[in-house]
Amino acid sequence: MADNPEDDFLASSTADPSMTLGEAAYATGAIGSSFAPGAGVADVLGYAPDPFNPGQMLPSFSENVAQGNYIDAGIQTLGLAGDAFYAAAPFTAGIAALPGGVLKGAQALAKTLRGGTIPNPKTTTPQVFFPDLGEKSHVTLQPDVKNDAVSIMYIEADKPGQGQGGEMLRRVTEQADATGTRLTLYPDPRGEGGLDQDELIEFYQRNGFEFQYPDPTNPDPILDMVREPRPPVQSSTLYRSEAQSYESPNEGAVFYTPDKSYAELYASEDRVFRETSLPANVFDIREPGNSEAVLNWVDQKISNLEDISGVSVDIRDVYAGIEQGGPQGASRALAAYNTILAKQADRSIIPGQAEKMFMQDFGIDAMTIKEAGRDLDEYSVAFKDAPRPTDPTSGSLSDLSTPELITSWVIEPSKVDRAEVASRLLSQPDVVSRSNQALDTLGYGDTVPMFRLVKLTNDGDLQPEGLISATLDPNKVPSNIKFLTQGKFGMTTPTDYRLVRYDVPREKIAGYLPAVSDDIKRTVNRAVKEKGFGQDNVPGMTTVTNPAKYAKELIDLQDEIIADVSGLKPTVLVDDSGRPMNMLSMGGALPKLIAEGRVTTPEDISEILPNYFALNPMEYARQGNDIPFEVAEKQAREALISRYQDFFGIQNKAEGGVITLADVARNMNRGPRGVGSLAPIARNMYRTMVS
C-alpha cells in the first residue's frame, strides 16, 4: 500500500470512493459496457465512455497511436477482434461468439484492474503493473479461447514474500468476479525467492482455483487450474416474517431472505416482521467445494438409514439432488432429507431440521440455501439458531459510510451490532483486499492466532464464541488488559477472567481495522455525533468531541481484528501449575512482561520482579533435592519464559531481545501457518474484549 492510502486511488481505474451515487453508477455502467458486443468498435473509433470522467470519451485508436500509447491501441485491437468474432457468429451458428467475449474480457480486465497501469508499448498481451506494490510488480494476462476464459500467464512480485503477489491476484479475482469472468492458469514457479510449485498450487487453491482435470489416481496429474467467478455479495440486511409460535421451535434452522418483498408476502397482524444482518463468513453453498460437502453429508446420512420403508420416493429425490449437484442440488437433497426425517418420526415436517443438523455437525452458524420454488438468484440464509434481530424502528445504520460505521462501532460497540460491521467489511472487495494485504505484509499465512480476555460462566466453563473482536499484536495485549480492566476490578476479584488465543483460518477473518483506519477523516464526525455515539452524559466521563481522532487512536492502540471463531477451540493461558491463569491476579504480571518483550531471561525477572519465585524455596528445601535451589529456580524460570513465549508466538533473538513469528516469516519470505493476536474496541465502559 502507499504511505498515504488515498494515493492508492489516484492511479486506480476503479471508481473513486468519494464519487456520488450517480457517478458510481455511471462508472459501473461504463465499465460494464466495455464487455458488450460492439464495444470494441466504439472504443477504436473513440466513442467508448470514460468510466471515471462522466461526459468524456476514451481516446480512439488513432489518438492513442498519435500520443504514443501503443499498448492501449494494441488492446483496442483485441476488443475489435472480439467484435469481429461476434459479427461472424450469425454465419457460424453462434460458434464464433465464444472467443469474442474472451478477447474482450482480457481487454477489459487489463484496463480496469485496481491500481494498475499498462506502460509497456511493445507487448501484445496485456501486462498490468501495480506501482503501489513495487516497481516491478505486474500481472500478465492472455485470452484463453479454448476455455472461454482469461488466462493469468505470470504474476511477478517486486519483492517476493512481501504479500505483493497475493494482493495482485486478489485484484484480478475481484474484477473477474465483478464481470463474471472465468480465470485459468498453470502453476509455474518463476525466478528465485518465490514459492515452489506445490506451494503455488496451495496458494492458488486458497484463492478459489481448482484443478481443471482432477484425477487422484494419476501420479503425474495435469496441473492446469481454473477459477469460476464467484457470486455477488448479497444484501447485508435479511428479512423474515415470523409466526408468534412454532411447533418444535428449536429443532429446525431459522430462515431469512435478502428479498424484503418476498418476506412481506407472509406479513399479517398475527406475525412479526424481523430484520437481521448477513452474518460474517456464512457457509455459502455456492462456493467451490461447499455444495459437495453438503451432498456428501446427505449421502452418508441416507446410507446409514436402517429402515427405508415409506421413504423410497424421498430417497430417490435425495439422489436426484446428488446427481444434479451444485448449490441447487444440495438444497434439493436437504429438502428431501427433511421429509424423510419427518416421516420416520411420524410427525409434520420441521422446516430446516436437516440444515440445522448439518450446521451442528460442521460447527457453523449459518449457511445459504435455495428455498423451494424460488427463482431468484439471491439465496436465503439458514441460521442454526435464531439470530439477533435488528429493530427496524431503532434507526438503521445503513446510511452511514463504512468509515462512519467503523468509528461508531469503535466508540460505542454496545450500540452497534458487530455482525453489521463485519458484513459491511466483507461486502466491500477493496476493504477485504487491503485487510489481506496488510496481513500478508505482516507475515501471516493461512492461520492467524489472536488473543482475547474472556469471562468464565458460573460453572467455570468458557462460553463458545462466534464473531469476536481481537488484537493482532501480542505486544499490545498487556496494555489492552489494563485499558479494559483498570478501575473496574480489584485484586480480590474472583478468578473469572482468562486470556485465550484463537488460531483463526484466514477465510474466517472479517476485517483488520488498522488496514482501513486512514479512511477515517474528520468528515465522519458530524454523522457519528448525529447518531448519538459517544455523546451520552456518563458519570466520570466526557463526551467524545472528536470521534475520528478517538477512534483512530483506539484502533492503533488495540490493533483490532474482527473474526468468526465459531467451532474453534481456544488455547487458554495457564500458570506454572497448569491451571488457567487469572489475568487480574499478581500471577498475570510475568506473562504480560513477556508479551511486551521486557522479560526474555531469568535475570530480567530478578531485575523487574525481585520478589518473584517460580519455585517455593521452603518446599524445595524440605524435598531434599540434590540440585542447588538457584540452579533449579533458573531452570524453572527458563521453562516458564519458554512456555509463555510459545503462547504469544515469540522467540528469543540470538543477540538478545525478542522476535515474533511474523518477523521469522518475513526473514524466510514465507508466512507462518499460525501467528497472531486479538483485541477489541469502544469506550472504556463498553470494552468488548471482556465478554
Shared domain for 186 and 42, answered yes or no, is yes
Integer angstrom CA distances of residue 253 from 248, 285, 365? 11, 16, 10
At residue 381, what are phi and psi to the nearest 5 degrees? -120, 125
How are strands ordered across the β-sheet holding 210-211? Answer: 127-129, 138-144, 149-156, 183-185, 225-227, 210-211
d(CA 630, CA 404): 57
Q: Residue 357 has what pLDDT? A: 93
Question: 659 vs 571, which has greater pLDDT?
Answer: 571
Shared domain for 612 and 569, answered yes or no, is no
Mean per-residue pLDDT, 187-208 = 80
pLDDT higher than 80, residue 250:
no
Shared domain for 208 and 121, answered yes or no, is yes
669 falls within a domain: no
Shared domain for 423 and 309, answered yes or no, is no
Shared domain for 537 and 413, answered yes or no, is yes
Range ranked top by mean pLDDT from 43-57, 365-379, 561-575: 561-575
Shared domain for 191 and 97, answered yes or no, is yes
Shared domain for 24 and 135, answered yes or no, is yes
Instruction: List strand residue ranges (DSSP E) for 568-689, in order.
Output: 571-572, 650-652, 658-660
674 falls within a domain: no
Q: Residue 308 has what pLDDT? A: 84
Q: Which of 69, 22, 75, 19 is nearest to 44 (CA)?
A: 75
d(CA 298, CA 334): 7
451 close to 477: Cβ distance less than 8 angstroms: yes
Residue 545 CA neighbour count, 13 Å, CB half: 2
Here the cell at position 305 is 438409514
pLDDT higher than 70, residue 37:
no
The domain total for the chain is 4
Identify the bridge partners of residue 390 per DSSP, sorted by sequence position: 275
139 falls within a domain: yes
Write down the mean pLDDT value for the chain: 74
Here the cell at position 466 is 462466534
Mean per-residue pLDDT, 651-677 = 39
**Which position has the grid cell 473474526?**
563
Shared domain for 186 and 241, answered yes or no, is no
Shared domain for 31 and 88, answered yes or no, is yes
282 falls within a domain: yes
Percent of the chain with pLDDT over 70: 68
d(CA 667, CA 649): 15
Region label for 229, one of left (φ > 0), alpha (ψ between -120 and 50) or beta (otherwise): beta
Q: How sure is the predictor about 60, in pLDDT bands with cuts at 50, 70 and 90?
A: low
Q: Residue 287 has what pLDDT? A: 78
Q: Residue 634 has what pLDDT? A: 93
Shared domain for 197 and 248, answered yes or no, is no
Shared domain for 535 and 603, answered yes or no, is no
pLDDT higher than 50, residue 12:
no
Any residues with CB less than 8 A from the CB of 185 and at least 6 apart, and which? 151, 152, 153, 204, 209, 224, 225
Shared domain for 363 and 484, answered yes or no, is no
Question: What 3-state class would DSSP assign to 356?
Answer: helix
Range ranked top by mean pLDDT from 199-213, 251-265, 330-344, 668-682: 330-344
176 close to 183: Cβ distance less than 8 angstroms: yes
Mean per-residue pLDDT, 258-270 = 77
d(CA 634, CA 558): 33
Question: 272 vs 592, which has greater pLDDT?
Answer: 592
120 falls within a domain: yes
Percent of the chain with pLDDT over 90: 21
278 close to 381: Cβ distance less than 8 angstroms: yes
Amino acid identity of residue 14, one-letter, is T
The pTM is what? 0.44
Here the cell at position 285 is 453453498
Range of the domain at 315: 237-383
Give the end of a domain, one of 186, 208, 227: 227
670 falls within a domain: no
665 falls within a domain: no
Q: Residue 281 has what pLDDT? A: 66
Mean per-residue pLDDT, 566-570 = 87
Mean per-residue pLDDT, 572-589 = 82
Integer angstrom CA distances of residue 229 from 93, 173, 534? 26, 8, 42
Give the end of a domain, one of 227, 259, 287: 227
For 185-197, the pLDDT digits (tens) are 998 887 666 678 8
Other CB atoms within 10 Å distance of the CB of residue 521: 12
Question: What 3-state class would DSSP assign to 78?
Answer: helix
What does R_g of the chain's alpha carbons equal in angstroms? 29
393 falls within a domain: no
Give the end of a domain, one of 227, 253, 278: 227
Q: Residue 215 has what pLDDT? A: 77
